Amino acid sequence: MRLESYIDHTILKPTATEEDIINLCSEAKAHRFHGVCVNGCHISLAKKELLDSPVKLVAVIGFPLGTMSTATKILEALDSIKNGADEVDMVLNIGWMKSQQYGLVLEEITKIKEACGPVVLKVIIETCYLTTNEKLKACELIIKGKADYVKTSTGFGTEGATFTDVILLKEKVGNKIKIKASGGIKDRETALKYIKLGVSRIGTSSGVTILNVP
């Protein structure tokens, strides 16, 4: 098992500079991370920096609140893919989820996945804001909408990934879709435990530290 192959090396802070993005991509190539995860405005630059590299380029859309219109999220996804994104991480509309507007949530996931086509789509459910039943229902909708992953967190909520949530999500989704744990993962021991619990990807800004600290 290559730990680095699970990691999406991430910078999503609003203060990220061009130099930060260039360094992120350089580190990802040097450490052979699975991917880099950036905001939409940095996609073109990251694509240029990752040219001729196996490192995947991951774009976030509807980030970090998930409250944009479905049409806006679709355009954002299409623009990111056009500019070179290999994968898309979208934020669920949490307000719709908590209002039990499940039809709207499903329609949005379905339409965005249709727009993405073969591009991997991960749906961020922001677990810190959802009840247990809402988390389970969100997983059902993600599966029905034909997305590829459920992702725990944006890293901008009140809490990131937890072992308890990953266990819950894995019990629900089984092997139907994959799981990405993100938010607050800063050390090797934690990362390895998430992998043991069944996650297929880890989103973190601490990838270099995770690899280099035993």
CB-based contact 181:204 (threshold 8 Å): no
Residue with tokens 């990691």: 7
151 among known catalytic residues: yes
Q: What is the Cα–Cα distance from 58 to 180, expressed in whole angstroms?
A: 13
98 among known catalytic residues: no
Cross-strand bridge partners of residue 35: 8, 56
Q: What is the Cα–Cα distance from 21 to 17, expressed in whole angstroms?
A: 6
Burial class of residue 19 (count of CB atoms within 10 Å of its CB; 0-12, 13-18, 19+): exposed
Query: Which region holds residue 52: left if phi is over 0, alpha if psi is between -120 and 50, else beta?
Result: left
Give the three-class secondary structure for 129. helix
Q: Which of 8, 89, 148, 165 is catalytic?
A: 89
89 among known catalytic residues: yes
CB-based contacts of 159, cutoff 8 Å, min separation 6: 127, 128, 153, 183, 184
* 178-182/201-204 β-pairing: parallel
Q: Which of 113, 137, 172, 180 is catalytic?
A: 180
- The CA-based angle 210-127-59, given to 5 degrees, is 60
Q: Which of 151, 165, 172, 178 is catalytic?
A: 151
What amino acid positions are annotated as catalytic residues?
89, 151, 180
